[in-house]
Amino acid sequence: MNIRLFPMLAISLIPSVAAAQDLTTIQNLNQKFSQAFNAGDFSTVAGHYADNAILLPPGSDIVKGRASIEKFWAAAGDQVSDLKLDAVDVKPLGANAAREVGTFSLKSKGPQPQAMDGKYVVIWEKAGSDWKLATDIWNMNK
Amino acid sequence: MNIRLFPMLAISLIPSVAAAQDLTTIQNLNQKFSQAFNAGDFSTVAGHYADNAILLPPGSDIVKGRASIEKFWAAAGDQVSDLKLDAVDVKPLGANAAREVGTFSLKSKGPQPQAMDGKYVVIWEKAGSDWKLATDIWNMNK
């Protein structure tokens, strides 16, 4: 395609190309997040969050800041395993943020592990060239 | 203040003024939302959402679109009342979106009403001059 002949078309394609790149980046980050969680590496899990990130877990008050978030996930790691994250939709919001909607599954630990699934909304924000989790909330489907 | 003498200062103030205006606008919308819900006016409740909004309720699959969202809230109105919403933090994301974190309380209906409280994250998007709910997720604290 000769974009000089279709300048408006070229411009109109930019958001969807950016969104597709963001989706791939975010899917890769999700995979690293769940791998780290399942390996018990909560420092790496917490490294996905912005310094001043806000976590809103079910059955808990709001958790603020990366250090508190690391403690939360370390405690969660005693209870559950086999975390899997699936991005359903990523939408850019301005130049440096994106809203992701996704689903997840995990298993309770113990003699009779239970499978559970739920859904989440996260806000990613760009810190330099890195995407960091700024807001993270989820709930269970049942 | 003579802003011609302090052009950088004037520019640096713009985001916080915009954020304060957004917070007031959003607090007013929250009040209208909860008033409509508590009055059983689910059409007005649904009117707060964008056409293609995404609702992620606990104990439910994802609900998509304003018509389905109205049905969801009408069913919820049979179970709960006395909804109160409190914005904790509103953060602009680009020129036409904002992320709100808030807390809520409500009461179950029935012979022995139970008070419950929780927290939410919503993404507001500007449609023309109106703010509409584009993504809405919440969970309970206990």
pLDDT at position B22:
80
How far apart are the CA of A59 and the nearest CA of chain B, in angstroms? 4
pLDDT at position B23:
86
What's the pTM?
A: 0.88
Check pLDDT > 70 for residue B74. Answer: yes
Extract the tokens encoding B64. Answer: 């998509």
Report the pLDDT averaged over residues B8-13: 50
pLDDT digits (tens, 9 = 90+) for B97-140: 999 999 999 999 999 999 999 999 999 999 888 999 999 999 99
Q: Which of A54, A56, A88 sits opposite B139 (nearest CB)?
A: A56
8 A C-beta contact, residue B61 and residue A141: yes
Q: Which of B54, B58, B135 sits opposite A139 (nearest CB)?
A: B58
Please write down the HEC assignment for all residues of B29-89.
HHHHHHHHHHCCCHHHHHHCEEEEEEEECCCCCCEECHHHHHHHHHHHHHHEEEEEEEEEE
Q: How many CB pairs under 8 A join A and B?
A: 89
Identify the weakest region by mean pLDDT among A20-29, B24-33, B66-75. Answer: A20-29
Report the pLDDT averaged over residues B57-61: 96
Mutate to test the interface with B, among A61, A64, A99, A105 (most CBs of B within 10 A): A99
Angstrom distance (rounded) from CA B93 to CA B134: 13
Concatenated DSSP letters of A28-91: HHHHHHHHHHHTT-HHHHHHTEEEEEEEE-TTS--EESHHHHHHHHHHHHHHEEEEEEEEEEEE
pLDDT at position A21:
77
pLDDT at position A65:
98
ipTM, 2 decimals?
0.88
pLDDT at position A1:
46
pLDDT at position B1:
46
Residue environment code for B43-68, b if the CB has 16+ CB neighbours within 10 A, otherwise e? eebbbbbbeebbbbbbebebbeebee
pLDDT at position A132:
97
Residue B79: pLDDT band (50, 70, 90) is very high
pLDDT at position A16:
61
8 A C-beta contact, residue B114 and residue B84: no
Q: Do B56 and A139 touch (CB under 8 A)?
A: yes
CATH number corresponding to B7-140: 3.10.450.50
B-chain residues within 8 Å CB-CB of A62?
88, 101, 119
Q: Do A57 and B139 touch (CB under 8 A)?
A: yes
Q: Do A138 and B139 touch (CB under 8 A)?
A: yes
Mutate to test the interface with B, among A64, A93, A103, A104 (most CBs of B within 10 A): A93
**What average pLDDT does chain B have?**
90
Residue B14: pLDDT band (50, 70, 90) is low
How far apart are the CA of B103 and the nearest CA of chain A, in angstroms? 10
Q: Do A62 and B101 touch (CB under 8 A)?
A: yes
Radius of gyration of chain B (CA): 17
pLDDT at position A49:
98
pLDDT at position B18:
63
Query: A23 or B6: which carries more pLDDT confidence?
Result: A23
Give me the tens of pLDDT residue by residue for chain A, a chain 142 residues long.
Answer: 454 555 555 555 555 666 677 889 999 999 999 999 999 999 999 999 999 999 999 999 999 999 999 999 999 999 999 999 999 999 999 889 999 999 999 999 999 999 999 999 999 999 888 999 999 999 999 8
How far apart are the CA of B17 and the nearest CA of chain A, in angstroms? 18
